[in-house]
Chains A and B, each alone.
Chain A
Amino acid sequence: KAGVTQTPRYLIKTRGQQVTLSCSPISGHRSVSWYQQTPGQGLQFLFEYFSETQRNKGNFPGRFSGRQFSNSRSEMNVSTLELGDSALYLCASSLGGARDTGELFFGEGSRLTVL
Chain B
Amino acid sequence: DAKTTQPPSMDCAEGRAANLPCNHSTISGNEYVYWYRQIHSQGPQYIIHGLKNNETNEMASLIITEDRKSSTLILPHATLRDTAVYYCIVRVLNTGGFKTIFGAGTRLFVKA
Contacts and interface: CB of A to CB of B under 8 A. Distances in A.
Q: Do A and B come from one complex?
A: yes
B43 A90 contact: yes
A90 B44 CA distance: 9
A103 B95 CA distance: 14
B97 A102 contact: no
B102 A103 contact: no
B81 interface: no
B100 interface: yes
Contacts of B98: 33, 48, 55-56, 102
Interface string A74-115: 000000000000000010100001101111111111000000
Interface residues of A, number: 27
Interface of B: 32, 34, 36, 42-46, 49, 87, 91, 93, 95-105
13 contacts: A35-B102, A42-B102, A43-B102, A45-B99, A55-B97, A92-B44, A101-B49, A102-B49, A102-B91, A102-B93, A104-B46, A107-B43, A109-B43
